Amino acid sequence: MSDAPTFGFDTLQIHAGARPDPATGARQTPIYQTTAYVFRDAEHAAALFNLQEVGYIYSRLTNPTVAVLQERIATLEGGVGAVCCSSGHAAQIMALFPLMGPGRNVVVSTRLYGGSITQFSQTIKRFGWSAKFVDFDDMDAVAAAVDDDTRAIFCESIANPGGYVTDLDAAASVADAAGIPLIVDNTSATPYLCRPIDHGATLVVHSMTKYLTGNGTVTGGVVVDSGTFDWSASDKFPSLSAPEPAYHGLKFHETFGALAFTFHGIAIGLRDLGMTLNPQAAHYTLMGIETLSLRMERHVQNAEKIAAWLETHPGVQAVTYAGLPSSPSHEKMTRICPKGAGGLFTVALKSGYEGCVKFVDALELFSHVANLGDTRSLVIHSASTTHRQLTEEQQVAAGAAPNVVRISIGIEDADDLIRDLDQALAAASV
């Protein structure tokens, strides 16, 4: 008997998780715009609520459109399951929720999206959690930051805003030695450029708002479970290994094995936190993912050309794009993201803070928005917007110094984008 075929990424991004609708034959995944689902009988309802049978109860928990998206992303990332939710920030809380508790901490990279830095440094304190910020260029420092109360290590594969590439293999080794999961935000890379699970990550999170959807229409997040972590190896993760009172003492890891984290995310996380993804948003994201590889190839192609041009411009002090041979992240990029460094990077202008403001205001093709990963090219001055709440020291550590602009290269004609950048750089120097 022959083995099942192994499909390529381009095929999976279109077909994974989806079948023609059995009721109508519809080829595109329908939007199941419904709140609740009719049970076959009382026994069926009881089995669903007891987690003895998989099915649909209420759309805060599960929805057929969302389920297709979850399976597709899990397949592309090489995971066993996924839980979609309302935003990338929701996904980060969903990822930590089963792991943390009052007095516990997470070791995180200093190179994170500004909103993530705020979430980890301020907001999670309200749960009694804390975060230790460490430079992930120094893995000895990362290991030293781990203590008996540490429950996870968190980083981005390609950091927003600077395009810094994390050595995921080294980070996974530190996490493994400590017996804790590595959580990787793969938003900027997408599974087309990087699959963190292949490098030892336990969980992968995304802001689906960005490259996965790719068209700036929805807000959404996802947590992907590798299925490889032994949640029962220690007493650090009682939410997954110990009896759960809400389900008559059921032990998630003992009962669901590799899918323990995924089932907990739905049965506890979505049930109690309520950070649900709506089915229409799931539909838009599914359509976006169908062209993910094509878009990412163009993002990379454009970014490489434009970053190389910017590096030679007299008004530019530095370009952080990891696809440039001059980048400190270039060697890591060839190992972690061999298909390219994505479309996100920062540019430091010699004209300083005021020059950045003039530059942003002078651009015409680039849209000035607080987003990235769109088909359109986007720009923002992080120090005055997304990273405004941070100190200047924190801004510099996050790659968002006052003289830096973040650029998200789209899929337009690269020469048109270069002309726009050229005239804006001229305006910035006046």
Rounded to the nearest 10 degrees, how much is the dihedral formed by the CA atoms of 69, 71, 74, 75?
A: -110
Residue 10 has pLDDT above 50, yes or no: yes
Say which residues have a Cβ less than 8 Å from residue 333's Cβ, sequence separation at least 6: 165, 322, 323, 327, 340, 341
Three-state DSSP state, 386: coil
Residue 244 has pLDDT above 50, yes or no: yes
**For residues 274-281, average pLDDT:** 97
Residue 3's pLDDT band, with cuts at 50, 70 and 90, is low
Three-state DSSP state, 134: strand
Residue 383 has pLDDT above 90, yes or no: no
- 165 within 8 A of 333, measured Cβ to Cβ: yes
Top pLDDT among 114 and 229 is at 229
Per-residue pLDDT of 18-77, as tens digits, reads: 988 888 889 999 999 999 999 999 999 999 999 999 999 999 999 999 999 999 999 999
Element (DSSP H or E) covering residue 368: strand 367-368
Residue 398 has pLDDT above 80, yes or no: no
Three-state DSSP state, 162: coil
What is the per-residue pLDDT for 5? 67
Three-state DSSP state, 375: coil
Describe the crossing of helices 352-362 and 414-428 by its angle, rounded to 10 degrees: 130
What distance in Å separates the CA atoms of residue 290 and residue 271, rounded to the nearest whole number?
30
Output the average pLDDT for the chain. 95
Residue 320 has pLDDT above 50, yes or no: yes
What is the per-residue pLDDT for 392? 85
Residue 1's pLDDT band, with cuts at 50, 70 and 90, is very low
Residue 337 CA: distances (Å) to CA of 54, 242, 329: 36, 38, 11
Q: Which domains does the chain have, with CATH numbers?
A: 12-288 (3.40.640.10), 292-428 (3.90.1150.10)
Q: Strand 367-368 relative to strand 378-380: parallel, antiparallel, unpaired? A: parallel
What distance in Å separates the CA atoms of residue 405 and residue 382, rounded to the nearest whole number?
6
Structure token digits, residue 187: 């938003």
pTM above 0.85, yes or no: yes
Tell which residue, 60, 88, 117, 87, has the closest CA to residue 269.
60
Cα angle 35, 26, 284 (rounded to 5 degrees) comes to: 60
Percent of the chain with pLDDT over 90: 89
Q: Which of 4-13, 64-73, 267-276, 323-332 has the lowest mean pLDDT?
A: 4-13
**For residues 157-184, average pLDDT:** 96
Per-residue pLDDT of 363-382, as tens digits, reads: 999 999 999 999 999 999 98
Phi, psi of 207 (to 5 degrees): -90, 105
**For residues 84-98, average pLDDT:** 98
Per-residue pLDDT of 105-142, as tens digits, reads: 999 999 998 889 999 999 999 999 999 999 999 999 99
**For residues 196-220, average pLDDT:** 97
What distance in Å separates the CA atoms of residue 94 and residue 322, rounded to the nearest whole number?
30
Residue 2 has pLDDT above 60, yes or no: no
Tell which residue, 174, 178, 222, 223, has the closest CA to residue 199.
174
What distance in Å separates the CA atoms of residue 237 and residue 337, rounded to the nearest whole number?
31
385-389 own/partner pairs: CB under 8 Å, 24+ apart: 386/113, 386/114, 386/115, 386/161, 387/114, 387/117, 387/161, 388/114, 389/114, 389/118
Q: Which of 13-27, 238-252, 262-276, 277-291 has the lowest mean pLDDT?
A: 13-27
